[in-house]
A and B are shown apart, each in its own frame.
Chain A
């Protein structure tokens, strides 16, 4: 398995634009997590899914953020409109669920100018 695959690796966009981050979890994993990492706030859990269903989105900072998981092999995190304070590295991770170790993608480094 190629591991968790995120795209793009780097994204530079202008304030106000829509940004879509993509994630392909490891086949067979039923839990998927989206995290945001910044120097100031560390690694924050934004939302996680189990069997494609959002379980907890309490970490999503604002209504500008939305996440979907239309099937077991694909998830998106969308920011619309983007703001400079959204600049961060966004990680997707997947696991087998309770007690399973999480496998992380390489992350998407987002810069909003």
Chain B
């Protein structure tokens, strides 16, 4: 079963605008990760935020995590046409000496030039 639920399912914005995607999950996690998938390609890791962190930045990406609400958001600032892709959150659970990575349904982002 899927752990993360993302909204919106689809988002269309103009180049230069900011894009915000949200992710909610159901159970306790050790960390939450965001991935990007271009059409027809594999997923690429963007950023990881640990369960004891509240905010993290990487370039034009800003991720927040609220463990009390079991939710996370990904903000892409000053979007570019090249940011057009699907974005997925993934929650990681640690058991034994490995981690189980479960993905949400994803948000499809279209950035119009």
Contacts and interface: CB of A to CB of B under 8 A. Distances in A.
Q: Is the interface of B mostly helix, strand, loop or mixed?
A: strand
Contacts of A98: 30, 92, 94, 97-99
Interface of A: 4, 30-31, 33, 35, 42-45, 48, 50, 55-56, 91, 93, 95, 97-107
Contact of A104 (B42, B50, B95): B42
A45 B97 contact: no
Nearest to A104: B42
B97 A50 contact: yes
B104 A104 contact: no
Nearest to B42: A104
Given A98-B30, A99-B48, A99-B92, A45 B101 contact: yes
27 contacts: A30-B98, A42-B105, A43-B43, A43-B103, A44-B2, A45-B100, A45-B102, A48-B98, A48-B101, A50-B98, A55-B98, A55-B100, A56-B95, A56-B100, A91-B42, A93-B43, A93-B101, A97-B97, A98-B92, A98-B97, A99-B30, A99-B50, A99-B99, A102-B90, A104-B43, A105-B42, A106-B41
